[in-house]
Amino acid sequence: MGLNRRLRFEHLEGNLKGWCSIRVNKQYRLIFQWVDGVALNTYLDPHKY
């Protein structure tokens, strides 16, 4: 569980339901679909606060 908190892993909601994200740093997050233990459709998103 500690690893998830450090990476800020989260299941997304709304328009991105079914997608997950991991925070790369304050500016970017990696967004992907997790299917059968494999990250698919991965892209880097400039995260705006």
CA-based nearest residue to 45, from 14, 18, 12, 3: 12
Q: Report pLDDT digits (tens) over 1-49.
A: 455 667 788 999 999 999 999 998 889 999 999 999 899 999 999 977 6
pTM of the entire predicted model: 0.75
CATH code where residue 6 lies: 3.30.2310.20
Task: Give residue 6's pLDDT.
Answer: 73
- Nearest C-alpha neighbor of 44 from the set 36, 25, 34, 35: 25
Domain that holds residue 13: 2-46
- Is residue 47 within 8 A of residue 29, CB to CB? The reply is yes
Q: With beta carbons less than 8 A apart as the criterion, state whether 17 and 33 touch.
A: no
Total count of domains within the chain? 1
